[in-house]
Amino acid sequence: MLRIEVVNPDRDQLGEGPLWDVTEQALYWIDSYGPAVHRLETSGRRTSWPLPEHVGSIALRLGGGAVCSLQSGFHALDFETGAVTLLAQASPPNPRTRINDGKVDRQGRFVAGAMDYEERDPICTLYRLDADARVTQLDDGIVCSNGPCWSLDGTTLYFADTSKRLIYAYDYETATGSVSNRRIFVDFAAMEFPGFPDGATVDAEDCLWSCEVYRGRLLRFRPDGTLDRVVGLPVESATSIMFGGPDLDIAYVTSMAREVRGVPPREAEAGMLFAVHGLGVRGVPEPRFAG
């Protein structure tokens, strides 16, 4: 039976990037505008780390701590001390943009793209951060980067440009981390979806789950791009999804409480973290950054 519960009642300004770590059996997520990283353990203990800049995404590192995509570049976060240190700048500083959503590929590389704060112009880039802190440009002409994730075999990279209402698919070279053959995987406008594609993940059946922001739905797509399932959520401002829990069968969903174009969210629960039980599918373990 489908059941949705509030996991964390605090209201994030822009909750994003839920990340379940199978080793720690703990859930991480961020408040992009907090800005902060949060961790919730199975015991119920919650820990938070403040950050010096807006944060778009995080990934755990093999050697401990996390890598964070901040406005000025990729940074390391030390969970013991709270120290934040620059690993690499992605591009010259630009007050109009920041690095946004990102995830780690099966080989331990971190892929993240930038977004235009005004969500208007295609002035942003998709990047790959290698273990040696080298940054490579994968694509450009992007307005608002979101939802990077991979097919189970790692050879297809999915990626959303939220403002264009498109989810793309790329051929992904697992040996090098290069991309080619970009094509439209899902066109929200053509399919007459009212919302926009935001955070995403791939489940153990190789289907993609996209969080439809401003409409409050989870959309599941088969590998051929056909719509397989629609799940309604308690808030329209839902932003991202990740499977977790001991059996990887709980969908954790973030949301935002901030105003959008001067309009506050309608629901009192906006900005809270949710757990969706009973979907009948499982996720896959999230890799750690090799650097």
**Which burial class, exposed, middle or buried, applies to 13 when counting CB atoms under 10 A from its CB (0-12, 13-18, 19+)?**
middle
212 is in an annotated binding site: no
Phi-psi region of 236 (alpha: psi -120 to 50; beta: other; left: phi over 0): alpha
Instruction: For residues 58 and 37, give the distance between their C-alpha atoms in angstroms, rounded to a whole number.
Output: 8
Which pLDDT band holds residue 217 (cuts at 50, 70, 90)? very high
pLDDT for position 134: 97
Burial (CB count within 10 angstroms: exposed 0-12, middle 13-18, buried 19+), residue 99:
buried
Active-site residue, selected from the candidate residues 105, 161, 198, 203: 198
User: Domain map of the chain by residue range?
Assistant: 3-277
Q: Tell whether residue 16 is among the known ligand binding residues.
A: yes
Look up the pTM and report it: 0.97
Average pLDDT over residues 48-55: 97
Separation of alpha carbons 235 and 147, rounded Å: 19
- Predicted confidence at residue 113, as pLDDT, reads 97
Amino acid in position 226: T
Residue 198 annotated as part of some ligand binding site: yes
Whether 105 is catalytic is: no
Least confident of 36-50, 84-98, 108-122, 136-150: 84-98
pLDDT at 262: 75
CATH class of segment(s) 3-277: mainly beta
pLDDT for res 93: 77
Q: What integer is the mean pLDDT of 3-26?
A: 97
Determine whether the annotation assigns residue 181 to a binding site: no
- Span 29-43, mean pLDDT? 96
Amino acid 50: pLDDT: 98
Lowest mean pLDDT among 42-46, 184-188, 192-196, 281-285: 42-46
What pLDDT, in 10s, does the model give residues 236-283? 999 999 999 999 999 999 999 988 777 788 899 999 999 999 999 999
Round the average pLDDT of the chain to a whole number and report it. Answer: 96
- The answer to whether the annotation marks 118 as part of a ligand binding site is yes
